[in-house]
Amino acid sequence: MHKAIGKARSKVLFSLLLLFSNLSTALTIGALPTLEFGMGFANAWTNTQSTTTGYHKGWNVSAEANWIFRISIDNKDIHNAGKEIPPPVSIILSPGFHAQYIYMSASNWLSDGSCYRAWSAIGLGPELEFGLEFVDSIIVHRSLLFSVAYLANFSNYTQTTLYSAYNSWLLKVSWNTKIDRGPAFFAALPLEFALRADGKSVLSGLVMGIRYEF
């Protein structure tokens, strides 16, 4: 009886060790530096204590420098067959830095007859990006990515000597398509929450651009 139980435990332990050893050999992590450039239009809604919410139109230019990590499980059967086809799904984790320049026109006329002045801002801060990459073939790679960044911004009211600094949180979802080993083209929807000195602004828009992996 005890011998049978001991044998059963030994089989279970051996199976678990075999499973973990297979996972450890199949799990691969690749890392590459990347650069990303994008531009697009932007909208903003600004609210202050003394005025109603004003609506702005504008545009932005952004750049990112990241280190992208791909975590995937290799398909041994495919590699043994002599076909270097990447895994169909990989996990993406990409820390780095985000920089942007935003220009906003003057807001619409508010109910009290005033408008919020046009302004521009330069922002820089750390960013963390994560998501999934889908491989249709050796050539086509697509990825759905989410990112969050904390930015320090330096702004100026257009045609004035009024300057200010503020912090903001940037959330972004993007869709990337890469052909072969060339650059990836992307479209992104950013959403930024800016804690400005004289009020709060919410910015959104559409950004399109290019990403290159070295």
Closest CA to 193 of 213, 166, 174: 166
What's the mean pLDDT when you consider all of the chain?
81
Torsion of CA 60, 64, 69, 73, to 10 degrees: 30
Selection from 93, 39, 96 nearest residue 64 by Cα: 96
pLDDT computed for residue 19 by the predictor: 46
Q: Say which residues have a Cβ less than 8 Å from residue 128's Cβ, sequence separation at least 6.
A: 93, 94, 95, 147, 148, 149
pTM for the full model?
Answer: 0.78
Domain 29-213 has CATH 3.40.50.2000: no
At residue 187, does pLDDT exceed 80?
yes
Give the amino acid at 13.
L
Q: What is the pLDDT of residues 55-113, one digit of tens each?
A: 889 999 999 999 999 887 655 544 444 455 566 788 899 999 999 999 998 887 777 76
22-54 pLDDT, tens digit each: 544 455 667 889 999 999 999 999 887 777 788
Q: What pLDDT does residue 108 have?
A: 79
